[in-house]
Homo-oligomer: A and B are copies of this chain.
Amino acid sequence: MTTALRVALAGLGTVGTGVVRLIEENRDLIARRAGRPIDIVAVSARDRRRERGVDLSAYRWADDMGAFAHDADVDVVCELVGGADGPALALARESLKAGKALVTANKALIALHGMELAEIAEASGAPLLFEAAVAGAVPVIKGLREGAAANRIERVYGILNGTCNYVLSAMEADGRDFDEVLSAAQAIGYAEADPAFDIEGTDAAHKLSILAALCFGTRLDFAHVETCGITQVRAEDIAQARALGYVIRLIGFAELDGGKLFQRVHPCLLPLAHPLARIDGATNAVVAEGNYSGRLLFQGAGAGDGPTASAVVADLVDLARGGTGHSFAMPASALEQADAAETGHRSGKAYVRFEVADKVGVLAEIAAAMRDAGVSVESLIQPAQARGETALIAIVTHEVEERCIDRALQTLTGSNSLKAAPMVMHILDA
């Protein structure tokens, strides 16, 4: 067997220790598949003394992970520190500049600095891989970059955040409200102590921007992902949606729309027959539609130490075999700079929830605003239960341009019939 691939691990949190355990436990099998052993030669983290539940005594400890970039005994630097900037970014830049391969699970880093890093990587000839950055264990980066390489892909979407999907499917299962389910999820470790990053959609937006670049051959454009999380979704919305034949999921959706890039993370209504409608819990799933392949679906565990480690080590096996291609399927210089699409002319059905004063005439006021804006209503539910002095009205529109809905809501702005800003959720067709 030829020389081992020598890996330096920066970061020993749950993912880092998962990688250590995986490489030890599956060592022989990995060597058979990689054609040579994969050896961890050095590790680094902030606190050397922390108890991590894995034996690190066989590996050289480095107090300064930055030194990995210039360590002659290291072939690959594995960045598992996290954070879009700071030490993770510095390490990634330095390593790639120095010609070291870089493997990372850091979606924020790639979404925000992926173009710069890919350019550095291409200049020095060092591979940059990030399978673990999207959908955990699911080999969706490879599947799209290589498996679907023959296709023009104009649409990619999916369930990209396990915490949000867990919360929404738990709300659906037992009718509890958002805050209650989130607290329960935090208690069992399915949501972070500070969950903002997940529940506000930022994490899904990072992943979506990476998928869009890969699928469309366009430059990363995280800044233009229209992002709305799940904090406004109520138990009543889920109940109304279900009554109308839909479930609610946080969907990241990207489309190349007449050469312009449309990217949105949004709670969506999915018809029950949609392949993503049955996906419960922390599972992730990505759908890409190719012009020859048709609809491809990739599904699996989106987070957790084992699944994420599985993706990190898949990248290491690729490096050990040699011949990894470009990070974004083609040289960064070949990616197109697409403008962000305008959303107003997009057409579709939508769900709109109004929180209204419980008095005569409100419904007529809303209906008139919809009519005047050219929005035709397919169904309307006014649930019996109300919250104090307010009532809820849930509307599903017929297919209509989004700008018409905006116009209707603008008409209603300031009306004292409305007790809160209306909530709009788009409907994804099957």
Which residues of A are at the interface with B, using a C-beta cutoff of 8 A? Answer: 18, 22, 25-26, 29-30, 32-35, 131, 137-139, 142-143, 146-152, 217, 275, 278, 290-301, 304, 306-307, 309-311, 313-314, 316-318, 321-326, 329-330, 334
Contact = CB atoms under 8 A, between A and B. Distances in A.
Contact of A301 (B131, B142, B293, B334): B293
A324 B323 contact: yes
Nearest to A277: B278
Q: Give the secondary structure class of A's interface.
A: mixed
B297 A149 contact: no
B296 A300 contact: yes
A25 B151 CA distance: 10
Given A22-B150, A148-B139, A150-B310, A330 B296 contact: no
Contacts of A298: 143, 296-299
A314 B142 contact: no
Contacts of A294: 137, 300-301, 304, 306-307
A292 B306 CA distance: 5
A150 B323 CA distance: 17
Nearest to A299: B297
Given A139-B143, A290-B310, A149 B34 contact: yes
**Residue picked from A298, A301, A324, A334, most chain B C-beta under 10 Å:** A298
Contacts of A310: 148, 150-151, 290, 292-293
A26 B291 contact: yes
A148 B299 CA distance: 13
Contacts of A313: 149-150, 292
B150 A142 contact: no
B32 A217 contact: yes
Contacts of A299: 275, 296-299
Contact of A30 (B138, B150, B306): B150
Contacts of A217: 29, 32-33
Given A22-B292, A33-B329, A146-B318, 17 more contacts: A32-B217, A35-B326, A35-B330, A137-B148, A138-B296, A139-B147, A142-B143, A148-B310, A150-B309, A275-B278, A275-B299, A292-B313, A293-B310, A294-B306, A296-B299, A297-B297, A297-B298
Contacts of A131: 147
A147 B370 CA distance: 49
A24 to B, nearest CB: 12
Contacts of A138: 147, 296
A137 B26 contact: no
A309 B295 CA distance: 14
Q: Which 7 A-B pairs have the closest CB atoms?
A: A323-B323, A139-B147, A150-B313, A137-B293, A293-B310, A297-B299, A292-B310
A25 B318 CA distance: 30
Contact of A296 (B26, B32, B137, B304): B137
A150 B314 contact: yes
A304 B324 CA distance: 30
A29 B151 CA distance: 8
A299 B286 CA distance: 10
Nearest to A153: B29
A299 B152 CA distance: 18
7 contacts: A22-B150, A25-B291, A26-B292, A33-B329, A143-B143, A292-B313, A295-B300
Given A300-B297, A310-B293, A139 B146 contact: yes
A296 B137 CA distance: 8
A376 to B, nearest CB: 31
Contacts of A139: 142-143, 146-148, 296
